[in-house]
Amino acid sequence: LPQRVADHITRRRHVQKIMGIPEEAFAYFKHPVDFDVANTTEFLEGKVKCPSLDSYLPTLVAYARENPQIFQH
């Protein structure tokens, strides 16, 4: 979404109310950020491992299909 369009949309009070995010917070969405996970990766090596997507995606999809209200505002 072009920044000008996003800025215009997020200034609308009803959009802020629906999203539950005040206008001032949207400025941080485009704030430049760099994350360095080198220490975290090294620390967790051999201790914690993320499961593969295919091991839990069917469960997420089934839940979403059984609970369509999670997509409503």
pLDDT digits (tens, 9 = 90+) for 54-71: 999 999 999 999 999 988
| Residue 40 placed within a domain | no
Reading the block at residue 9, the tokens are 């949309």
| Residue 15 placed within a domain | yes
For 7, the domain range is 1-35
Render 1-58 in DSSP notation, one character per residue: --HHHHHHHHTSHHHHHHHT--HHHHGGGGS------HHHHHHHTTT--PPPHHHHHH
Which amino acid does the sequence have at 19?
M
Report, as an integer, the average pLDDT of 6-31: 81
| Residue 62 placed within a domain | no
Q: How many domains does the chain have?
A: 1
| Residue 2 placed within a domain | yes
| Residue 55 placed within a domain | no
CA angle, 37 then 26 then 28, to 5°: 35
Report, as an integer, the average pLDDT of 26-50: 84
